[in-house]
Chain A
Amino acid sequence: MAPHKQSSSGGSHPVGFGPGGKANGFYQPSSAVAAAKKPNMQLIQDDHELFLQAFEKPTQIYRFLRTRNLIAPIFLHRTLTYMCHRNSRNNTKRKTFKVDNLLFKVEKMRGEQETHSLASNLQLTFTGFFHKAGKPSQDCENEQNSVSLEVLLIKVCHKKRKDVSCPVKQVPTGKKQVPLNPDMSAGVQAKPGSFPSLLVPSSEFEPSNSHMVKSYSLLLRVLLPGCTQTQINGLTNGENHHNFTEEVVNRKRRSSSLREEGETTFVAQMTVFDKNRRLQLLDGEYEVSMQEMEECPISKKRATWETILDGKRLPPFESFSQGPTLQFTLRWTSDSSDRSTAPVAKPLATRNSETNQDTRPCTLRSTQTLALKESVNTDMQTRREQISAEPRQKLRILYQFQYNNNTRQQTEARDDLHCPWCTLNCRKLYSLLKHLKLSHSRFIFNYVPHPKGAKIEVSINECYDGSYAGNPQDIHSQPGFAFSRNGPVKRTAVTHVLVCRPKRTKPSLSEFLELEDGERELQRTYISGHNRLYFHSDSCLPLRPQEMEVDSEDERDPDWLKEKTVKQIEDFTDVNEGEKEIMKLWNLHAMKHGFIADNQMNEACLLFAQNHGAYIVKQNLCRNFLLHLISMHDFNLVSTLTIDQAMAQLRLIRSQATQRERDRQEDEEEEEEEDWETAVESQPELDPDPDPDPSEYKPYSEETSIPFVLPP
């Protein structure tokens, strides 16, 4: 009997699969079990080893892919048919859509903003600056128990054509002394009026003429004199703590090497109006986590998903218990005394509520730096509970991990429908199962109905071969090309039909039940065809998609063969050069066209004369060509008609060539033309020399121009 362990963790956070922490998140269940009963520690250790062996690698891979998909999604889950409920948009408006609607909408929105932004001033009342990891401010015996705070309004303007980056304007709004680590536990503080307060006039938020302001944000800068540096290490999570860019190691080095004067600057930035001119700060009490100022903060634009692997990310709210924070109250007032009229803005609640779940990329990218306390009464804890209570069905899902040849199991329970690997909220059991099956094929998931909800058996898919079913061109030459960091790239176009309208069955949970052996055969892929990378047979280089259509290596006359036949003929010692030349020409011609039948030969010879006639005339090979034709005739391959036609073609080419030659000469010396012609005419009969003169062969005059002497 395999030991059956069940460790249920009823917590709202999924044990082991939580968004934070290291990849091998399975540590907790077994340790919990170990603490419970099992006497044999060694056995447990071994079991744990086996468990890790089976599930660690794939889990790491899927964790990695999850993060990558968040940063640079290849597809959106909401576009999948089985996730259609995630798609909040519907197309009903499309029918009535008109282009003018867009303009109308924008105009309306602008009008709205104008009204409220003009109306009110921003009033900030600072409660105190809190620092020292979790400790009460007892050791704060030193002279100052206040820090100096500077508030700047930062206006990020629209980029003009010539600007390299967005122009930024900093408007100082004032400096205040804020108490350091005031004792809040005492509860009863001095009157609100005693706290330092700052007013940002509404005029600041009006659009200025020179630059269109894109967004406004408040920069809070706290100057802490003579503070011990070492304690701040790693806890200085400020504005970027939602980005995955923090490198603790990096920071440690920096902060330790930091300024010796003993002054530390902490900064925090809060967006007042975002790019779309939406108000982000509502009335309320705020606690801002401050970040230690660094010389060169990591640019957000270069944020990459790799750093998560070696960086450690703090859970969102931990920083508030430890890190330096600044507490203040924010109010929008129409005048300095009135505190009732906060500007009406778009609700932030929907966005903020999901911040805690870490599910949507948009949330992750937001530079929201603050934890908002809606009211003084609302506690973090209660808020969280509200969120976790959100799923409609109260389902319990038991994941039963089977390993070591299915001899061992571990069970984990979850109360939500988030994917344990992606933390994707699937919201429906069917969607979850479908997602698991399709996105995590390194495992086999079998669904077993369970009275409380569902049981999912998870085992390692031994048949998973990692075979690549995508575009084969993506595998080679440019690793990571599809995920280029330098902006969009043009991909090689490949038409790739994956599935041709498969019959879509009604979604039902029964499809996830364990299959009979016979049915596995039916699970063949829809994709057939070229799902692999091909290579050129001559160079072993990968075949690029545009080279697929033509077979570049099927030529009848590869270069080496042409060279070979030329060389072979050249090697004959008892064949004269004219014959060789014609034979080579003919062989190349025959190889190119691949003649196979006797009855092709007439055409072949004519084609030869047509294609190579000019060369034959130029190289003075006409008689050899005639010999070749006669020889072909002797072999019964061509008719005399073909010989006549081919030679006529040659004569034509020759006469054209002579004509051209003559034209050129005419241009040069027109007077000499007659002389030349008579010379040609008289040549045959006047030439008494029996020795053939080489020059005689060069100017081939047309035979028509040669007169002959009549016999007496």
Chain B
Amino acid sequence: MEETAAADPTPGIDAAPPTPRPPPSPFAPSRSLLEWRRRVKSEYMRLRQLKRLKKAEEVKTLFMSNRQKIEQQTNLLNTEWSKLRIQSIPLSTFSGSMPGKKMCTVEFGFPGFKSQAITMRPLSTVAGIPFMYSWSPLQHNFMVEDETFLHNIPYMGDEVLEQDEAFLEELIDNYDGVHGDREGGFISDEIFKELVEALSQYSDHEEEEEEEAVVAAEAAGKKEDERVMRRSSKIPNDKIFTAIASMFPYKGTTEELKEKYKDLLEPPDPVKLPPLCTPNLDGPFAKSVQREQSLHSFHTLFCRRCFKYDCFLHPFHATPNVYKRKSKEIRMETDPCGVDCFLLQGPKNLWIRICYGHRGLGDDGGSSVPPEGKEGDSDHETTSSSEGNSRCQTPTKLRSGDDDGEQQACCVVQWSGAEESLFRVLHGTYFNNFCSIARLIGTKNCKEVYEFAVKEVLIHRVPLEDGGISPQKKKRKHRLWAKIQLKKDSSSNQVYNYQPCDHPDHPCDSSCPCVMTQNFCEKFCQCEHECQNRFPGCRCKTQCNTKQCPCYLAVRECDPDLCMTCGAADHWDSKVVSCKNCSIQRGLKKHLLLAPSDVAGWGTFIKEPVQKNEFISEYCGELISQDEADRRGRIYDKYMSSFLFNLNNDFVVDATRKGNKIRFANHSVNPNCYAKVVMVNGDHRIGIFAKRAILQGEELFFDYRYSQADALKYVGIEREVDVT
């Protein structure tokens, strides 16, 4: 028995890379190792069992809460409807329309048993509906990453046919692996920690190991002295890690495991954050940091295209310090903000000199403060192109003579870390407008701010205005038309995804990614506003639904920041916009209804009648790469149902898992709708439009082949119809 058991673990040990510290004596430890392995196994099983129970419990509570939610919703609806005098939805507990009228009786042949009777509760019939896989509703595309792991092996029916098996094998080859393959050996950090802790209980009782453990613990304790270890005074026995390492070879060597455990032991201090993280500015531990640091999270996570943080559509977010400020609106307070305003303190001309002296504008007359908001390109970043905390690296020490006096004042006023950080942040925006800064900081007055600024030596010169901009609009317009025409001609169906270009030094020429992909530069590009590749928008005063409109001609929706005359930028709250070329971005879709199709499965039906070429809905879904679409398409092809829709050369919209109601529109060779990929504010999106006038209640069809030459291969029923 011992022999076979001993033979068993060896492959496990072999699999593990040679440990730096092998077991001291090869014979005795192998027995103890066996013992440990057994413990590891039993403990591991126990922990997993616990986990499973916990999870089951969680699911249970979730389920119950869900039930409650449903009940609440139903009650809510019913009360609302009862107000409207509409009959309510019968709950499942409803006893039916004729309670107690019909009885069900079970009679027994034996006299000893009483017959049992209970009121019959008829359940109302439910209309049978076509099959539907679950999906999540969405009104905007959602980008997902490639799945290198196959999440589940597709179910192909109970009978596994031979070609299916071959298909599955091929499918699995396409992926790096299948999720859950390592089911038995799976171990997470949490379980690992618990496992070690559970095992260390054993070691306490073992005398012969005690010594060694203590030694190890001491060594570890010395090494990690500076680290805080409140929960366990010592690192458990190496044996434990050796045993675990042999059980879960892929998790690493004994040493690695040990290190990992030590890391895990680090107390999860809520205050202590990862080193990269700036402390909360509103919190008690706010530190005095540089502007860039304070704004780092906001800058990096904000998507300038979606106006959201960590958006669902754009994996790459440009940081703003490379943008140029277009609004030249730094306001200078000309009037003191109060009796104690810094403007009234000390010699006035001193302040003026500080600001404008170097520019020779100083008038020494307090009334002639330079015109408001005309400071030109006042952003500091433009002067120093270097990234990072540019503001602090360019200190312009102007005055040293007054230092003493200022120092005194600063000593009196204490600045907290948060205030300091906030000042730096605001100073980057408001510059020398200390009154505003003080008002925004809230806890300091402008004089204190001013003094602090002096101390920080952050009083800026306001940079000079750039050279005049020469308008070239007439030329550009001609060129634009030529360009649209050019794109049309050379189109060859190659549409590439738009990515904002960022090449600071040279203008958009043939090396610009936008030019190369035959896309226009958008407002998100880092290039000059006057870039030749920029689309200027339209100046239509009509509906923008003819080719007279350059936007329409270029298969773009009107940009509300470019097209200011057509109405695309007006009436945000109403559904009636004069411009008919901004429906996708505004989500002005028609009310669609879902019902069993007259053709196959489910179908999409329209609530109200629409005219020809009217926008009906956007075809939304997951945005996936072409490679991913290939992989998914293979499975969908097998299922004979696909929601894939080619968007451009880089991406495909897949409405299988996420989508909106238009996903149920069926294919037809004689459809009443058509699909069109439109550039909408930098994103390609699929619009479904009416091909002819459609009556209310009509089912919607469009030609799936529009975008995908081989789309038909996914459309089972229609394909067969076509063949016959």
Residue positions of A touching B, CB distance < 8 A = 475-479, 484-486, 489-493, 528-538, 540, 542-544, 546, 548, 551, 553-556, 558, 560-561, 564-565, 568-569, 572-579, 583, 586-587, 590-591, 594-601, 603-604, 620-624, 626-628, 630-637, 639-641, 643-644, 647, 651, 684-685, 687-688, 690, 692-694, 697, 700, 703, 706, 708-712
A586 contacts B308, CB within 8 Å? yes
Question: When A490-B85, A597-B569, A692-B286 are in contact, do A636 and B280 touch as well, CB less than 8 Å?
Answer: no
Contact status B282-A628, CB under 8 Å: no
Min Cβ gap B235→A in Å is 25
Flag whether B187 is at the interface (Cβ < 8 A): no
Inside 8 A of B81's CB, which chain A residues have their CB? Answer: 546
Of A532, A573, A596, the residue contacting B595 (CB under 8 A) is: A532
Is the beta-carbon distance between A687 and B280 smaller than 8 angstroms? no
A576-B279, A583-B309, A631-B298 as given contacts; A533 in contact with B595, CB under 8 Å = yes
Q: List 22 A-B contacts (CB under 8 A).
A: A486-B97, A528-B697, A530-B593, A532-B697, A534-B595, A540-B129, A553-B137, A554-B587, A576-B283, A577-B280, A578-B282, A583-B310, A596-B681, A600-B572, A626-B440, A630-B426, A630-B428, A644-B436, A684-B443, A692-B285, A692-B418, A711-B409
- What is the CB-to-nearest-CB distance from A597 to chain B, in angstroms, rounded to a whole number? 4
Residues in chain A near residue B425, CB distance under 8 A:
626-627, 630
Q: 6 shortest A-B CB distances, which residue pairs?
A: A597-B560, A631-B298, A578-B280, A694-B284, A583-B309, A574-B276
Contact A624 B282 (CB under 8 A): yes
Bound: A636/B377 CA distance, A: 12
Task: Please indicate the chain A residues that have their CB under 8 angstroms from the CB of B429 in the complex.
Answer: 630, 633-634, 640, 643
For A485, A535, A621, A711, the residue with the greatest tally of chain B CB atoms inside 10 Å of its CB is A711
- Most A CB atoms within 10 A — which of B325, B405, B447, B572? B572
The answer on a CB contact under 8 Å between A586 and B329 is no
Residue of B nearest to A634 (CB): B320
**CA gap between A218 and B326 in the complex, in Å:** 104
Question: B307 near A546 (CB under 8 angstroms)?
Answer: no
Interface size for B (C-beta < 8 A) is 106
CB neighbours of B285 from chain A (8 A): 692
Contact for A565 among B308, B412, B430, CB less than 8 A: B308
Q: Given A626-B440, A634-B295, A635-B323, 14 more contacts at CB 8 Å? A: A532-B595, A543-B593, A574-B276, A575-B277, A575-B297, A578-B281, A579-B278, A598-B560, A623-B418, A631-B320, A636-B323, A636-B325, A708-B447, A711-B408
B448 touches A708 (CB 8 A): yes
**Nearest Cβ on chain B to A653's Cβ, whole angstroms:** 13
Asked if A536 contacts B594 (CB within 8 A), the reply is yes
Interface positions of B (Cβ within 8 A of A) = 81, 84-87, 89, 97-98, 124-127, 129, 132, 136-140, 273-274, 276-286, 294-295, 297-299, 301-302, 304, 306-310, 312, 320-321, 323-327, 329-331, 340, 405, 408-409, 412-414, 416-418, 422, 425-426, 428-430, 436, 439-440, 442-443, 445, 447-448, 451, 523, 559-561, 569, 572, 585-587, 589, 591-596, 605, 607, 660-661, 664, 681, 695-697
Contacts of B409 in A (CB 8 A): 711
Cβ–Cβ contact B283 & A628, under 8 A = no
Specify which chain A residues have a CB less than 8 angstroms from the CB of B286 in the assembled complex. 692
Instruction: Name the A residues within 8 Å of B277 (CB-CB).
Output: 573-576
CB distance from B396 to the nearest CB of A (A): 21
Task: Enumerate chain A residues within 8 angstroms of B329, measured Cβ to Cβ.
Answer: 639-641
Contact (A551, B307) CB under 8 Å given A492-B86, A530-B696, A630-B425: no
How many A-B contacts at CB < 8 Å in the complex? Answer: 272
What distance in Å separates the Cβ of B620 from its nearest Cβ neighbour in chain A? 11
Task: Among B125, B140, B273, point to the contact of A479 (Cβ < 8 A).
Answer: B125
**Contact A553 B308, beta carbon cutoff 8 Å:** no
Distance of A583 Cα from B321 Cα, bound (Å):
20
Q: Identify the closest chain B residue to A596 (Cβ).
A: B585
Residue of A nearest to B132 (CB): A540
Give chain B residues whose Cβ lies under 8 Å from the Cβ of A630: 295, 298, 425-426, 428-429
- Chain A residues within an 8 Å CB radius of B418: 623, 692
Closest B residue, CB atoms, query A571: B310
* A contact residues around B299 at 8 Å (CB): 631, 634
Chain B nearest CB from A696 CB (Å) reads: 8
User: B406 — nearest CB in chain A belongs to which residue?
Assistant: A711
Cα(A591)–Cα(B692), bound, Å? 33
Closest Cβ–Cβ distance, residue A456 to chain B (whole Å) = 33
Q: Which residues of B contact A531 (CB under 8 A)?
A: 697
Chain A neighbourhood of B436, CB < 8 A: 640, 644
- Please determine whether B298 and A579 come into contact, CB atoms closer than 8 angstroms: yes
Which residue of chain A has the shortest Cβ distance to B591 in the bound complex? A551
Determine the chain B residues whose CB is within 8 A of the CB of A532 once the complex forms. 595-596, 605, 697
Given A546-B84, A599-B561, A634–B323 Cβ distance below 8 Å?
yes
Q: Given the known A-B contacts A634-B429, A687-B414, are A558 and B595 also in contact in the complex, defined by CB atoms under 8 Å? A: no
The answer on a CB contact under 8 Å between B442 and A640 is no
A594: which of B323, B417, B587 is its contact (CB, 8 Å)? B587
The smallest beta-carbon distance between A320 and chain B, in angstroms, is: 36
How far does the Cβ of B539 sit from chain A's closest Cβ, in whole Å? 17
How far is B408's CA from A375's CA once the two chains are assembled, in angstroms? Answer: 135
Shortest A198–chain B CB gap in Å is 42
Measured CA separation A706–B429 after assembly (Å) = 25
- Docked Cα-Cα span, A572 to B273, in Å, equals 11
Shortest beta-carbon distance from B510 to chain A in Å: 28
Residues of B within 8 A of A534 (CB): 593-595, 605
How far, in angstroms, from A565 to B412 measured CA to CA in the complex?
Answer: 45
B264: shortest Cβ distance to chain A, in Å? 15
On whether the beta carbons of A627 and B298 are closer than 8 Å, the reply is yes
Cβ–Cβ contact A535 & B595, under 8 A: yes
Instruction: Check B274–A573 contact: CB distance below 8 A.
Output: yes
| Nearest A residue (CB) for B280 | A578
B86–A546 touching, CB < 8 Å: yes
State whether B523 touches A598 (Cβ < 8 A): yes
Question: With A and B bound together, what is the CA distance between A534 and B664 in angstroms?
Answer: 13
Given contacts A484-B97, A542-B127, A685-B412, contact A537 B137 (CB under 8 A): yes
- Whether the pair B127, A597 counts as a contact (CB closer than 8 A) is no
Interface centre among A489, A493, A528, A554, by most chain B C-beta atoms within 10 angstroms, is A554
In Å, the complex CA distance between A693 and B405 comes to 29
Q: Whole-angstrom distance between the alpha carbons of A622 and B340 in the complex?
A: 25
Given A540-B132, A574-B277, A623-B418, verify A631-B312 contact (CB < 8 Å): no
Q: How far is the CA of A603 from the CA of B570 in the complex (A)?
A: 13
CB neighbours of B306 from chain A (8 A): 590
Task: Enumerate chain B residues within 8 angstroms of A700, measured Cβ to Cβ.
Answer: 442
Nearest chain B CB to A111 CB, angstrom units: 44
Contact at B139–A640, with CB atoms within 8 Å?
Answer: no
Contacts of A556 in B (CB 8 A): 139-140, 587
Q: Point out the residues of chain B lying under 8 angstroms from A540, CB to CB.
A: 129, 132
Nearest residue (CB) in B for A535 is: B594
CA distance A451 to B15 in the complex (A): 104
- Distance A537 CA – B286 CA, assembled complex (angstroms): 48
